[in-house]
Amino acid sequence: MIEKSAMIAVVGRPNVGKSTLVNAMVGEKISIVTPKPQTTRYRVYGVAEKDGVQLVFADTPGFHRARNKLGEYMVQVVRDSVADVDCVLLMVEPKAHMGPQEEALIERVEKLSLPCILCINKIDTLPPAELLPVMAVYGQRYDFDAIIPVSAKKGGGMEELFSELTKYAAEGPGLFPEDMLTDQPQRRICAELIREKLLLCLDSEVPHGVAVEITSFKEKENGVAEISATIYCEKQSHKGIIIGKNGEMLKKVGELARQDMERLLDMRVFLETWVKVKENWRDSGANLRSFGFTEE
Ligand SMILES: Nc1nc2c(ncn2[C@@H]2O[C@H](COP(=O)(O)OP(=O)(O)O)[C@@H](O)[C@H]2O)c(=O)[nH]1
Ligand SMILES: [Mg+2]
């Protein structure tokens, strides 16, 4: 039984580990993770529950300067996400200096007078003594409600963080039904998994100009899911790169995505992928809407 719940916005510069943290809290991969900035394009809610406390984490796209319509949309999502939450979790790199992104997010928290926990991530990458100057720099700038060092990837500090966040939970029924882990439809996560593999396998500008649409999703009675996906890219030359020599790149991407989909859906997956060119889709409002980049 859920007795208390809280909505937590996870904010921070791109690549700091927000999606990794949300996945770790939820215990499932609902938000894709790569070593590249601007991986997360949507706001994704992830739900964690322990001892009757439900915490809903809003994973947000990286806060960055918008360069095209998709960029503007992503910045807007971050702005909106912070407005209506019980607590903000500002995630930072374990470095003893603040950048303009951290400054902007702290200003926003100050203005809205929201509770804010500073979460210093990636503590597995440095000796413990080097944490103190990081805490000092942030502690001097703002009176955080708590400062919690974690390793979202390795699992350090997660229990401390959960119990700290419990303080912001209000009595009442859950914000999400008890067995629901995310607001993301399976189709959306499957599309995102394909995009994640493109980001991981292609190390050029190509994957940032890619959108993935699941065109058909059928769960068969024999425990097999038949999924068709179309990968849209911006240029004919990009299409060639995505398909690769003898179709090998597309095969690899499809195979990796399929494995993750099978884990997520707990079913065997038959995945079919297509590549199409759709020029400058990132700058077109109509295209963005057709890929689901809109709020309800
Ligand atoms: N060493 C280390 N790497 C991490 C940790 N958390 C996340 N990462 C890595 O940082 C990169 C960005 O992570 P991601 O969750 O996509 O960041 P986001 O852009 O803030 O959502 C990925 O390569 C992660 O594996 C951590 O605790 N330790
Ligand atoms: Mg992310």
64 lines ligand 1 (CB under 6 A): no
- Distance of alpha carbon 108 from alpha carbon 89, whole angstroms: 12
Domain extent listing, the chain: 4-171, 186-290
What integer pLDDT is reported at residue 209 of this predicted model? 83
Model confidence over 197-226: pLDDT tens digits?
999 999 777 777 889 999 999 988 888 999
| Nearby residues for ligand 2 (ion, Cβ within 5 Å) | 18-19, 39-40
Closest CA to ligand 1's atom 7: 17
Q: Are strands 87-92 and 268-277 parallel, antiparallel or unpaired?
A: unpaired
Closest CA to ligand 1's atom 19: 15
- The CATH H-level superfamily of 186-290 is K homology (KH) domain (3.30.300.20)
* Cα distance from N-terminal residue to C-terminal residue, the chain: 29
Closest CA to ligand 1's atom 2: 122
Model confidence over 144-172: pLDDT tens digits?
999 999 999 999 999 999 999 999 999 98
**Does domain 4-171 fall into CATH 3.40.1190.20?**
no
Q: What is the largest CA-CA distance in the chain?
A: 60
Which residues, other chains included, contact 290 with Cβ-Cβ below 8 Å and sequence gap of 6+?
none
The torsion region of residue 113 among left (phi > 0), alpha (psi -120 to 50) and beta comes to left
- Distance of alpha carbon 253 from alpha carbon 236, whole angstroms: 19
Residue 265: burial class (beta carbons within 10 Å; 0-12, 13-18, 19+): middle
